[in-house]
Amino acid sequence: MADSAPNIRLLDQANLGQGFGPSHVMTVTIELEPGSAGSPPHRHSGPVFGYLIEGELVFELEGEAERVIRAGEAFWEPGGDVIHYQAANNLTDARTVFVAVMVCAPDQEMLTFVSDEELAERAHLRHPRPAV
């Protein structure tokens, strides 16, 4: 019988820093129908790690250019004060499915939506949008 080690491929990694303390961790799958804009702008209380199972995701965090993540690719966001502007299905003819592992800071909500007023106040922090 041959001894075969598992094939492990690192998808993404991040240093959470010291002092994060006790936390609650959730692993979820999210399915976006064709053309779905996903959740409105929001933030997470802790870091989020994701992996695209199928489709394409338009992903945009505050201070970063929007980018397309494709099936088989991973992403992460630091959480905290950073606004997550979009996680939208980039495809109009197929669904997009991803796994998200969310680390919730102690005694805080996992996800909070950002008000229009706050979006306006922080507009200078958003990366310039692509010309349409």
In sequence order, what DSSP letters do the residues of 10-50 get, joined into one string? Answer: --------TT--S-EEEEEEEEE-TT---SPSEEESS-EEE
Tokens of 6: 């598992």
The H or E element spanning position 116 is: helix 116-121
Tell me which residue range forms the domain holding 86: 24-123
The model's pTM: 0.81
Q: Is residue 13 part of a domain?
A: no
> Which two structure tokens, joined as six digits, stand for 93?
């003819």
For the record, the structure tokens of 59 come out as 């992903």
Q: Using CA atoms, how far apart are residues 9 and 38, in angstroms rounded to an integer?
A: 28
Q: Which residue has the higher pLDDT, 47 or 5?
A: 47
Residue 49 belongs to a domain: yes
Cα–Cα distances (Å) from 83 to 11, 112, 113, in that order, read: 23, 10, 9
Q: How far apart (Å, rounded) are the C-alpha atoms in residues 131 and 95?
A: 25
* Digit-coded pLDDT (tens) for 10-68: 666 666 655 566 677 888 889 999 999 999 999 998 899 999 999 999 999 999 999 99
Query: Residue 34: its pLDDT value, please?
Result: 95
User: Is residue 70 in a domain?
Assistant: yes
Judged against a pLDDT cut of 90, whether residue 116 lies above it is answered with yes
Question: Would residue 59 count as lying in a domain?
Answer: yes
* CA-wise closest residue to 23 among 80, 108, 84: 108
Q: Total domain count for the chain?
A: 1
Give the pLDDT score at 105.
Answer: 79
The tens digit of pLDDT for each residue in 60-100 reads: 999 999 999 999 999 999 989 999 999 999 999 999 999 99
CATH number of the domain at 48, please: 2.60.120.10
> How far apart are alpha carbons 25 and 95 in whole angstroms?
26
